[in-house]
C-alpha cells in the first residue's frame, strides 16, 4: 500500500468487507461511503466493482468470534496473467465528486519476472501518477532497470508524482530514481 497526498493507493484483492457503519453507493468503478448521511471517503477501482449485500460474503468480523452483517466490495478483472488491479481510497470525504483510477500503458516494460504498472488517479483535490513494479518472488529491492509509461521513466519499485501548479512533482520514490518527470497522462490511458 502506498500512502499518497489525498489518500492511499493499493494493489487490491478481489473482495473485502466494509465496516457496517458505512453505507455504500456504487457509481461505476467508484464506491461512495457515507455514515449517517454524512459523506465519507470514496474508493475507486481499476476494475468493475460491486457491493454484495446478501449471502455468505456479506459478513464482517469486528473481533474474533463475532460476525455481523455488512457488505463486501468485489472487483472483477478478466485478463491474461500477469496483470494488476488497483484501488484508491480517498483520505478525505468527497461527497458527490468523482474519484477515478485508471491503468496506464507501460510502454517500456521490465524483464521477467517483474511486472510494471502505472495508474492515473484523479480526485477533486489531486491528480496523481503512480508507478509500481512487482515481482512474484517477493523481491524487496527495486528492479534496477529503467521502465515506465505515460512519459515517465524510472528504475524504482514505486513512484508517485503529484500534479500541482501546472507541473508534476515527485511525492515518493522507493528503491530507485525518477529519470523523466514529464508525464503525458491524457494520451496514455489504456
The per-residue pLDDT for range 149-170, each reduced to its tens digit, is 888 888 888 888 888 878 888 8
Per-residue pLDDT tens for 10-21?
444 545 677 777
The length of the chain in residues reads: 190
Q: Is 86 inside a domain boundary?
A: no
* pLDDT at position 85: 83
List the one residue out of 75, 55, 71 whose CA is nearest residue 22: 71
Residues above pLDDT 90, as percent of the chain: 2
| Residues 57 and 130 both lie in one domain | no
Q: From residue 158, give the alpha-carbon distance in Å to each of 70, 119, 123, 143.
A: 33, 11, 20, 10
Domain that holds residue 43: 7-75
Last residue of one domain, picked from the residues 75, 108, 135: 75
Q: Is 117 inside a domain boundary?
A: yes
Q: Is 81 inside a domain boundary?
A: no
| Residues 109 and 70 both lie in one domain | no
Q: How many structural domains is the chain composed of? A: 2
Residue 43 pLDDT > 50: yes
| Residues 168 and 133 both lie in one domain | yes
| Residues 105 and 52 both lie in one domain | no
* pLDDT at position 184: 56
User: For the residues 122-147, what does the mean pLDDT come to?
Assistant: 82
| Residues 56 and 107 both lie in one domain | no
Per-residue pLDDT tens for 79-131?
887 778 888 888 777 766 778 888 899 999 888 888 899 998 887 777 888 89
| Residues 100 and 164 both lie in one domain | yes
Between 139 and 186, the higher pLDDT residue? 139
| Residues 169 and 128 both lie in one domain | yes
| Residues 111 and 169 both lie in one domain | yes
| Residues 61 and 103 both lie in one domain | no
List the one residue out of 9, 12, 31, 35 whose CA is nearest residue 22: 35
| Residues 157 and 104 both lie in one domain | yes
| Residues 64 and 135 both lie in one domain | no
Predicted TM-score (pTM) of this structure: 0.76
Q: Is 190 inside a domain boundary?
A: no
Per-residue pLDDT tens for 61-70?
878 888 888 8
Q: Is 124 inside a domain boundary?
A: yes
Q: Is 33 inside a domain boundary?
A: yes
Amino acid at each position: 500500500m502506498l500512502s499518497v497526498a489525498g489518500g492511499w493507493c493499493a494493489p487490491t484483492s478481489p473482495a473485502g468487507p466494509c465496516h457496517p457503519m458505512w453505507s455504500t453507493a456504487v457509481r461505476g468503478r467508484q464506491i461512495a461511503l457515507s455514515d449517517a448521511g454524512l459523506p465519507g471517503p470514496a474508493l475507486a477501482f481499476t476494475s468493475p466493482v460491486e457491493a454484495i449485500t446478501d449471502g455468505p460474503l456479506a459478513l464482517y468480523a469486528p473481533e474474533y468470534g463475532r460476525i455481523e452483517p455488512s457488505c463486501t466490495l468485489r472487483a472483477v478483472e478478466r485478463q491474461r496473467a500477469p496483470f494488476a488491479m488497483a484501488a484508491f481510497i480517498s483520505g478525505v470525504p468527497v461527497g458527490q465528486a468523482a474519484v477515478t483510477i485508471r491503468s496506464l500503458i507501460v510502454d517500456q516494460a521490465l524483464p521477467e519476472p517483474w511486472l510494471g504498472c502505472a495508474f492515473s488517479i484523479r480526485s477533486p483535490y489531486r491528480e496523481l501518477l503512480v508507478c509500481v513494479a512487482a515481482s512474484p518472488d517477493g523481491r524487496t529491492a527495486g528492479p534496477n532497470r529503467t521502465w515506465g509509461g505515460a512519459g515517465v521513466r524510472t528504475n524504482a519499485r514505486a513512484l508517485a508524482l503529484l500534479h500541482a501548479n501546472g507541473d508534476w512533482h515527485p511525492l515518493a520514490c522507493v528503491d530507485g530514481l525518477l529519470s523523466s518527470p514529464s508525464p503525458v497522462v491524457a494520451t496514455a490511458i489504456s
